[in-house]
């Protein structure tokens, strides 16, 4: 190979390299937040350079969801000028919700490199790796404490206690992992059916069992059942459905002791949470959400049109607790994250912002009519937003904007 050929080869590598940025970001999404963020930033930089050089600004007007995502962030930014929040809180929320501006950029990136299938394949591979580790952790086949101590001691990564003591969470918390495993189950099934791949059917089943019977994420639990219903209605004939249920039943019997304990713990914790709420004790998971919801309704009543401004939920929940003389025992109740995107957005930018977010979701719903994958993305975004502040959260928010960008390109393939 001549020096000229070498130069062409090296140039080709550098030209092809950016198309792997987003696939690598999604590969590491359950493994490393830092690595995911690095590749997301590289994706954004690459796309913005191309966008500027090619002057493809019409991209911001191609899809309704892009228009609404940009409008939501613009209104959040403008609310900075009337917010009741401190500057640091307002700026922190603007940083978190900037993911709404990622949507047009990632949409452009996937369209530019036509690599949606590469993103899907890398997502499956990275998630399957964590799924395998999750089973090893749950059944105590490997001692993950040794691994976590090694990461902490050598300052490779700081692993939070809530992950260390989680039964199934490996690198991310059980909530995020549950949602992503739910989507993995759905995606693996439709990819398995498309390619007649038995291994992907197995991945789908193992993801389903992990979320439904081992993981503690209630959002993941609801989401995976919604996906099951979608798959049954679209693909599965009655006899095949019975076979699928039979396989799940056999898995349940095989791991009966652990699974039974996990299910009973879920039911017991839910009953305890309801009892605590009845006694005006809101220090449980369900109790916090109930209190955050009540405050969200109060926020709409107080400032219905434009809300209290970006980053204001922390102030409003503190005032609500004080005014109603509510006795709380944990500081985590006073937060800017009410674990519901509808409440979060309506509290900050009122019914105007709420309507923009509804139109954002409606646009996603309309677009999903021609693609089963897009239907799954819509359900993921909707349920994640109902039970969590989906775009407030770093990893979950990044995951959702990547799903949206990919689903808008893959109608012909899935």
Per-residue pLDDT of the chain (414 residues; tens, 9 = 90+): 555 544 444 444 446 789 999 999 999 999 989 999 999 999 999 999 988 888 878 887 888 999 999 999 999 999 999 999 999 999 999 999 999 999 999 999 999 999 999 999 999 999 999 999 999 888 888 777 777 777 776 656 666 766 766 778 788 888 899 999 999 999 999 999 888 899 999 999 999 989 988 888 888 889 998 998 898 888 766 555 556 566 666 555 555 555 555 555 665 666 666 666 666 667 777 788 889 999 999 999 999 999 999 999 999 999 998 888 887 776 678 899 999 999 999 999 999 999 999 999 999 999 887 789 999 999 999 999 999 989 999 999 999 999 999 988 755 556
330: tokens are: 């944990």
Q: Assess if residue 413 is contained within a domain.
A: no
Q: Assess if residue 151 is contained within a domain.
A: yes
Count of C-beta atoms within a 10 Å radius of residue 172: 23
Angle, in degrees to the nearest 10, between helices 256-278 and 285-302: 40
Q: Output 155-160 pairs: Cβ under 8 A, ≥24 positions apart.
A: 157/32, 157/34
How far CA 226 is from CA of 220, 234, 267, 353, 376, in Å, comes to 10, 12, 19, 27, 9
- Dihedral angle, C-alpha 172, 134, 39, 220, nearest 10 °: -60
CA nearest neighbour of 383 among 339, 334, 336 = 339
d(CA 307, CA 304): 6
pTM for the full predicted model: 0.88
Q: Output 140-148 pairs: Cβ under 8 A, ≥24 positions apart.
A: 144/170
Q: Assess if residue 412 is contained within a domain.
A: no
When divided into structural domains, the chain yields a total of: 1
Angle, in degrees to the nearest 10, between helices 341-367 and 64-78: 160
CA nearest neighbour of 101 among 401, 389, 348 = 401
Q: Assess if residue 105 is contained within a domain.
A: yes
Q: What number of helices (H) and strands (E) belong to the chain?
A: 19, 0
Q: Assess if residue 220 is contained within a domain.
A: yes
Q: Assess if residue 414 is contained within a domain.
A: no
Q: Assess if residue 67 is contained within a domain.
A: yes
Between CA 349 and CA 357, with CA 355 as vertex, the angle to 5 degrees is 80
Residues sharing a CB contact under 8 Å with residue 19, sequence separation 6 or more, in sequence order: 113, 115, 118
Q: Assess if residue 199 is contained within a domain.
A: yes
When computed from its CA atoms, the radius of gyration of the chain, rounded to whole angstroms, is: 22
Domain hosting residue 136, numbered range: 3-407
């Amino acid at each position: 190979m001549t020096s000229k050929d070498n130069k062409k080869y090296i140039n080709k590598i550098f030209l092809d390299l950016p198309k792997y940025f987003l696939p690598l970001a999604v590969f590491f999404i359950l493994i490393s937040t830092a690595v995911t963020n690095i590749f997301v930033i590289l994706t954004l930089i690459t796309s913005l350079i191309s966008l500027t050089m090619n002057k493809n600004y019409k991209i911001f007007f191609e899809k309704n969801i892009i228009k609404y995502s940009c409008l939501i962030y613009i209104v959040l930014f403008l609310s900075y000028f009337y917010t009741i929040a401190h500057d640091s809180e307002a700026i922190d929320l603007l940083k978190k919700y900037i993911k709404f501006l990622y949507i047009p950029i990632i949409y452009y990136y996937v369209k530019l490199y036509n690599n949606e299938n590469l993103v899907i394949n890398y997502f499956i591979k990275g998630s399957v790796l964590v799924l395998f580790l999750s089973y090893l952790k749950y059944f105590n086949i490997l001692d993950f404490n040794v691994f976590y101590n090694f990461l902490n001691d050598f300052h490779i990564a700081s692993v939070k206690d809530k992950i260390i003591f989680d039964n199934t969470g490996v690198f991310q918390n059980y909530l995020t992992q549950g949602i992503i495993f739910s989507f993995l189950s759905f995606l693996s099934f439709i990819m398995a059916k498309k390619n007649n791949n038995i291994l992907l059917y197995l991945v789908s089943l193992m993801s389903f069992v992990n979320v439904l019977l081992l993981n503690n994420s209630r959002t993941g639990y609801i989401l995976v059942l919604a996906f099951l219903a979608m798959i049954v209605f679209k693909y599965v004939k009655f006899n095949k459905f019975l076979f699928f249920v039979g396989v799940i039943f056999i898995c349940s019997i095989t791991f009966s002791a652990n699974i039974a304990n996990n299910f009973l713990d879920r039911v017991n914790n839910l009953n305890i949470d309801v009892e605590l709420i009845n006694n005006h004790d809101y220090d449980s998971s369900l109790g916090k959400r109930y209190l955050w919801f009540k405050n969200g309704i109060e926020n709409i009543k107080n400032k219905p049109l434009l809300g209290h401004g970006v980053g204001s939920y922390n102030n409003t929940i503190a005032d609500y607790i004080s005014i109603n003389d509510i006795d709380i025992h944990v500081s985590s109740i006073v937060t800017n994250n009410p674990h519901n995107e509808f409440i979060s957005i309506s509290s900050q930018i009122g019914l105007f912002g709420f309507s923009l977010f509804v139109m954002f979701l409606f646009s996603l719903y309309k677009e999903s009519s021609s693609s089963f994958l897009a239907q799954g993305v819509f359900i993921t975004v909707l349920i994640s937003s109902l039970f969590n502040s989906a775009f407030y959260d770093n990893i979950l928010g990044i995951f959702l904007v990547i799903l949206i960008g990919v689903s808008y390109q893959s109608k012909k393939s899935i």
